Homo-oligomer: A and B are copies of this chain.
Amino acid sequence: MARTASLSGFPEWLPEERLVELHVLDTLRRVFELHGFSSIETRAVETVGQLLRKGEIDKEVYGLSRLQEDDGNASADTGNAASTGKSDPHALALHFDLTVPFARYVVENAGYLAFPFRRYQIQKVWRGERPQEGRAREFTQADIDIVGDGDLPFRYDVEIALVIAEALSALPIPAFLLRINNRKLAEGFYNGIGLTDTAGVLRSIDKLEKIGPAKVAELLKSELGATDEQAQSALKLASIRTEDTSFVEQVRALGVSNELSEEGLTELEQVIAAAVQRAPGKVVADLSIARGLDYYTGTVVETVLVGHEQLGSICSGGRYDALASKGNRKFPGVGLSIGVTRLVSRILSQDLAKATRSVPTAVLVALTNDDSWGAAQDVAAALRGRGIATEVAAKAEKFGKQIKFADRRGIPFVWFTDDDGKHQVKDIRTGEQVDADPATWAPATEDLHVRVLKA
């Protein structure tokens, strides 16, 4: 793109770029709804207490305060994060993802939802991070989750991976790869070799791609007190990566086994087996995947665009058994989140896809003279009535000027009506002009709507 955002980290698209984004959003919505996911939106605002419940990413949260708030008048109701300080759990802040708000929504509305509840949610989120390519301060996520009441069959872990593979396959993006692991497998294995600070080990393993195995081994030893042998075992597990279920044998060959690791192994095997059959080439078992956030309890997923690995994960998530609860009632879930802005930024910056035209309009109705505006509106109404997007010129300029106007706007057809009421329509790309009836004429199917095509 030629332009840079006027506010760093807050990208905005030109109309023809927005058409690409809309295509991505419409495609995701279509696939999600075909799989029975309901749309919901949650408010952009949560209480600080709700957002920081997990503790981890408070650095990135934008607090809210009413600019005209009277000093000393801050209250939970007005939610002034500025005057009440970050320690006030009732202060308001912008959500930084869609999972935490969704968990709150499920708990609040449990009495009105039919479980297992499947929803998709496509909204903006905000993080006050330092912006860089692929990382904005305001960006759109598209999430799907399935949440159960009390329990949630493991099968949904398999299903949700397949749905996401189908959704991503429908987008105008390069090949992608879902890299899947299982926390139970990892935790069981670490425990089996005597490393009990699972969260700590996962945090170190998470740095594998950034700093390499030697430095991760150092970390495991210096920060977690691992022996050299323990560190090497953990790294061996993390180095396993297979396109089929052969990872099972490779893990077993490491000679560490317990109930938890076996459970994780079986789960991951089910996901990969289904993916080999139903989404071949799109999924790998990758035992280096850790996911920093500590609410995941089973399946964990990250996704790379092949050839764009440095962009980071374009779709992440997993199984969480304890994110939402209401007294003794637990709502386990599994979900994945697509980084729409990250994907769209990449599509646009590398011209991976393009809209067939820059406006929705298919036809401009030209004005013969200034009094013909009403008649032109009748023509336009007839075309719109049959789903053909149509504009009417505002001024009866020379036809050449009106055609130039259509050309400049990217409108492919111009409609003319002469003084005798005879209609003609011109394809201004080819110059071809034919007689036409507003009640029956239609453009070729490929010209009816804007389409977005992969380069």
Contacts and interface: CB of A to CB of B under 8 A. Distances in A.
A63 B67 contact: yes
Which of A128, A153, A374 has the most chain B CB within a 10 Å cutoff? A128
Interface string A206-232: 000000000000000000000000000
A301 to B, nearest CB: 19
A356 interface: no
A394 interface: yes
A68 interface: yes
A68 B43 contact: no
A12 to B, nearest CB: 6
A31 B10 CA distance: 29
A257 interface: no
A19 interface: yes
A62 B66 contact: yes
Interface string A6-34: 11101111110011001000000000011
Contact of A58 (B15, B68, B86, B156): B68
Given A36-B390, A391-B36, A67 B45 contact: no
A82 B66 contact: no
Contact of A35 (B65, B384, B394): B384
Interface in A145-195: 153, 155-156, 159, 162
Interface stretch (A107-115, A292-300, A439-447): A107-115
A64 B61 CA distance: 10
B15 A40 contact: yes
Nearest to A131: B77
Contact of A108 (B6, B44, B68, B114): B6
A62 B64 contact: yes
B394 A156 contact: yes
Contacts of A155: 373, 394-395
Contact of A40 (B13, B77, B104): B13
Contacts of A47: 7
Interface in A103-145: 104-105, 108-109, 112-114, 116, 118-119, 124, 126, 128, 138
A167 to B, nearest CB: 12
Given A59-B68, A159-B392, A44 B41 contact: no
A368 interface: no
A65 B39 contact: no
A82 B59 contact: no
A41 B112 CA distance: 32
Contacts of A112: 2-3, 14
A392 B116 CA distance: 12
B15 A39 contact: yes
B105 A12 contact: yes
A126 B79 CA distance: 13
B360 A38 contact: yes
Interface in A369-414: 373-374, 377, 384, 387-392, 394-395, 408-411
Contacts of A41: 12-13, 18
Given A7-B47, A45-B10, A34 B64 contact: no
A425 interface: no
A388 B247 CA distance: 36
B38 A65 contact: no
A359 interface: yes
Nearest to A45: B10
Contact of A34 (B162, B374, B390): B390
Given A40-B15, A41-B13, A82-B82, A35 B391 contact: yes
Given A44-B44, A62-B64, 9 more contacts: A5-B43, A7-B45, A15-B119, A43-B138, A44-B126, A62-B66, A65-B82, A67-B86, A114-B408
19 contacts: A7-B43, A7-B92, A10-B43, A12-B42, A34-B389, A36-B359, A44-B44, A44-B138, A60-B68, A62-B66, A63-B64, A63-B65, A64-B64, A65-B81, A66-B128, A114-B358, A114-B410, A153-B395, A156-B394
